[in-house]
Chains A and B, each alone.
Chain A
């Protein structure tokens, strides 16, 4: 039960981390493509430096760090397979935060697609047909 609650908390923290990472990323401005990165690999370091220079990115990474440590604690000695249905909730929280906080528009395809992904991740741990 304790590990279930911990993993549940992780999904909320992880989703909040995504919100801050997205906010920070948008502030980084420039639209970079893979070709740009191949041409000038130093872009990787410029963006990595954003972790310290951009407060939103910093906070996002910090939350992600907390999330990773909590998850490691929750999973220690336990089987990951039973926890996939809870981990999949992260996609639900990220979607809700994107719509209500970032005001993103989602269409029918996106809702059904995300629901499918949540279901798909949830059953990853199944060993046989229940």
Chain B
């Protein structure tokens, strides 16, 4: 089965939205003071969870119409955004491992899609 372009676009959106989910979960986690009540009133945490849910809805829409062996590995593209946001918002430095790892991930995703184009 050839996976339609529409499904691939939805996966890209899903991983992009999900990367913001991680940012807000981290912001929320940094503001946790212990206790269930403080977690419920923690808007950053709530926003993070909502973004993850939204991300998963796009993921469900995508995998409904394509191969999991193509679409699931593409979720790894989310690491690109996550590491960029980590650099911008949390001042986590880019390391050799991150840059090399991301480059290899991009090559891997390209190869997977090359296989899809070939049928």
Contacts and interface: CB of A to CB of B under 8 A. Distances in A.
Contacts of A47: 57, 60-61
A61 B65 CA distance: 19
Interface residues of B, number: 48
Contacts of B56: 21, 61, 64
Contacts of B31: none
A124 interface: yes
Main SS at interface, chain B = helix
A129 to B, nearest CB: 7
A50 to B, nearest CB: 7
Contacts, number: 160
Interface in A55-82: 57, 61, 64, 81
A120 B112 contact: no
Nearest to B112: A113
Most A Cβ at <10 Å: residue of B57, B68, B101, B107: B68
Contact of B63 (A21, A48, A123): A21
A70 B41 CA distance: 23
Contacts of A29: 64
A64 B75 CA distance: 15
Interface residues of A, number: 56
Given A94-B72, A124-B98, A124-B101, A25 B63 contact: yes
A104 to B, nearest CB: 5
A113 B101 contact: no
Given A21-B56, A44-B57, 4 more contacts: A26-B64, A47-B61, A113-B114, A120-B101
Interface of A: 18-19, 21-22, 24-26, 28-34, 37, 43-44, 47-48, 50, 57, 61, 64, 81, 84, 91, 94-95, 97-99, 102, 104-110, 112-117, 119-129
Interface of B: 1, 4, 6, 9-10, 13, 53-54, 56-65, 67-70, 72-73, 76, 79, 83, 95-98, 100-105, 107-116, 118
